[in-house]
Amino acid sequence: MIGHEVKHLRARKKLSQEKLARLSDVSYNTIVKIENNATKNPGVKTLSKIAKALDVSVDRLISEE
């Protein structure tokens, strides 16, 4: 799931949710909701910002691997 992948990649980079929110210009609450799978289908623009902040592709975030 997207939330699990975001959380995993964020942890690998030793980023807090707050720091990821600042780096990606996505609200803290949105980051929390995505990681907790409360938001099942975040928008492409949001995913693009998060992917850029984590230095990965959007495909990496949405992959089912």
Q: How sure is the predictor about 64, in pLDDT bands with cuts at 50, 70 and 90?
A: low
| Cβ atoms within 10 Å of 41's Cβ, excluding its own | 9
48: domain CATH number?
1.10.260.40
The one-letter amino acid at 24: S
Residue 3: count of CB within 10 angstroms of its CB = 19
Domain that holds residue 42: 2-62
Reduced to 3 states, what is the DSSP secondary structure of residue 45? helix
- Full-model pTM: 0.93
The pLDDT tens digits of the residues spanning 2-51 come to 999 999 999 999 999 999 999 999 999 999 999 999 988 899 999 999 99
**Residue 46: predicted pLDDT:** 97
Pure H helices in the chain = 2-12, 17-24, 28-35, 44-54, 58-62
**Number of structural domains found in the chain:** 1
pLDDT of residue 1: 86
Distance CA 63, CA 65 (A): 6
